[in-house]
Structure 1
Amino acid sequence: MIERAIESVLFRSRWILAPFYVGLVVAMLVLLFKFGAELLHFIEGAISASESDIILGVLALVDLTLTCNLVVIVIFSGYENFVSKIDPAGHPDWPEWMTRVDFTGLKQKLLASIVAISAIQLLKAFMNLDKGGMSENTLMWLVIIHVVFVGSSLLLAWSDKLSSDKH
């Protein structure tokens, strides 16, 4: 009887995660606000901006979009994997991937998004190099960090493949 009570409490404790996912939805609203501010700033300066300024503005918008995509992946996959299944039956435009991403797929999607975000940050830094806004030392560290992310992604994918081959 005590064992069942403990198991019941442990099983129900997964719902503690739900407010975290709601908090991530609020974080997406903050990202939306920042996206709107960046878009407004981008539009205001478009006429007098150089080609590299336009590219940097677009990269900033893409960066925010990828970050928001990453949050969506975490919300849906995490909720489905750790809290409760979501019934997509009442939603005709429900993306298929949302009900099929397991924890391994979630890790791979997260790392792929982080690598893409890191690449965009690196490209933005490289494009700002001639403006004096970034030192070569800082750029070197950004490259090192990006390479670490890429290497980590490859190692994770390789270890997941090895693990799945054994099963």
Structure 2
Amino acid sequence: MTSVAPRPPSAGELTVVQVPVSDPRVRPLLRELGDEYSRRYGGDAHAELARYPDEEFSASHGGALLLLLEGGAPVAGGAFRRYDAGETAELKRIWTHSDHRRRGLARRVVAELEHEASARGYRRIYLTTGPRQPEARGLYLTTGYTPLFDTEADPETIGPLPFEKHLPRTLRPGKAATL
């Protein structure tokens, strides 16, 4: 009897993996995310990414970090951490590599994070995005998040833009929650 080695994912095939922040595939995405934040907001935004200890994104602390791989290479990712002592997770670090944008990958990452959070018993998602990230604002609005701010106000006068979404009891993988 011969064993067959699992085949590596081919180009174009998307795979979701849960990894620790220390996984080497995470670094390029976080570096590009920090660079993007620095361009939009000035200063060194990499410090913002380091604001939360890595362990907050581990299962033992109620969090998770997911990567979306294409042909084995990371193309998008995101994470959540426990937000409060109750049933709320906070989405963080949602990112799509600049070479892979406009393909719906961020929407897929959000759906996968929602699924994982729901499977772990979270019933609410909270997140913030910056006022100079209209793409993120649009993503959250179109995926069913409720803005917790005046959408008619100038985003620059608000600061971080908070959103929330209540999750149903169960979610199917790859499907965004809708109420």
Q: TM-score, normalised by structure 2?
A: 0.28
Q: Which has the larger radius of gyration?
A: 1
Q: TM-score, normalised by structure 1?
A: 0.30
Higher RCO, 1 vs 2 (CA within 8 Å, ≥6 residues apart): 1
Structure with greater proportional helix content: 1
Structure with greater proportional strand content: 2
